Amino acid sequence: MLPGMTTLGVIFPPDLPPERLRGVARAADGAGVEQLWVWEDCFKESGIATAAAVLAWTERLAVGIGLMPVPLRNVALTAMEIATVERLFPGRLVPGVGHGVLDWMAQVGARTTSPMTLLREYTSALRALLHGETVTVSGRYVQLDHVALDWPPAAPPPLLVGAVRERTVRLAGELGDGVIFTGESTPADLRSGLDHLAAGRTTAGRSGPSDVVVFVPVQDGLTAEQTAEQVGAFAAAGATHVILLSVGEEMPLERFAEFVGQKVRPLVD
């Protein structure tokens, strides 16, 4: 059984063509899956465009973006896009930002010499903009001159930070509303990471809960019981959102979404 606040989701990986997205989204929505996550990998699919489409096609499904690479995006544009989607579909968007893959950033001339400095400046400015503040900042990478959103969200969505190493996890605790851990993470990694997340929140004088998202690969052939056991291990380690990635080609993603919602979810409720 999952702890009370843990939600279950599936991933639409960007190596699938965008035209597959509608069927997967509707299958997930109909099967009772709580979240569908999309990725903004270069040079595949836009996270904001796919998230908006899923939200329009479904009735209750929440959509996570894990994640938007900050070197690729002006912070004001990202704030405008998140605010617009949040106002159109209140309470159903979970945006995430992160360093991005540095080699990809180099391909488009966006690689920075200090990714941590950029992520810190960017996350701080983005959070302020989404909270309706007028922002002036002259940082190493982020420059804003009295910028404010005309249409900020009535209630800003949680802003998550993708992280692997200790410093980035601490930054997620300090400046974000939660953290996204990759599919290579184990429950032990998660427990260790949560110590760093808590340290970041303590540094910033913040209290209250944080969202903790973990991507968990599910191999072809695993039963619902085995999958539920995987989910439970990460939930027990502190994950508030366990997001499953289908690994293999035996089960179409539409069927995987139904498998998660109809067979796995009842075992962990």
Strands of the chain (E only): list them.
7-12, 35-38, 62-69, 93-98, 135-138, 143-147, 160-162, 178-181, 211-219, 241-247
In a domain, 199, yes or no: no
Query: What's the CATH number where 144 sits?
Result: 3.20.20.30
Whether residue 171 lies inside any domain: the answer is no
Radius of gyration of the chain measured on its C-alpha atoms:
18
Please provide the distance, in angstroms rounded to a whole number, between the alpha carbons at the two ends of the chain: 5
- CB count within 10 Å of CB 140 equals 12
pLDDT of amino acid 61 = 97
* 14 part of a folded domain: yes
Q: Is residue 251 one of the residues assigned to a domain? A: yes
Using the CB atoms, write b or e for 159-191: b if 16+ within 10 Å.
Answer: bbbbbbeeebbbbbbbbbbbbbbeeebebeebe
- pLDDT per residue as tens digits for the range 161-209: 999 899 999 999 999 999 999 878 999 999 999 999 999 999 999 988 8
pLDDT tens digits, 225-239? 999 999 999 999 999
Sign of CA dihedral 150, 76, 38, 229: negative
Q: Which residues in the chain come in under a pLDDT of 50?
A: 1, 3
Residue 203 lies in a domain: no
d(C-alpha 193, C-alpha 37), whole Å: 21
pLDDT at 5: 64
**In the prediction, which pLDDT does 182 show?**
83
Asked if residues 46 and 40 have their Cβ atoms less than 8 Å apart, the reply is yes
Say what the pLDDT of residue 4 is: 52
Residue numbers of the domain that contains 64: 7-163+180-188+212-268
Is 112 part of any domain? yes
pLDDT computed for residue 207 by the predictor: 86
Nearest residue to 253 (alpha-carbon basis) of 18, 47, 2: 18
Q: What pLDDT is stored for residue 1 in this prediction?
A: 42
Q: Is residue 146 part of a domain?
A: yes
Total domains in the fold of the chain: 1
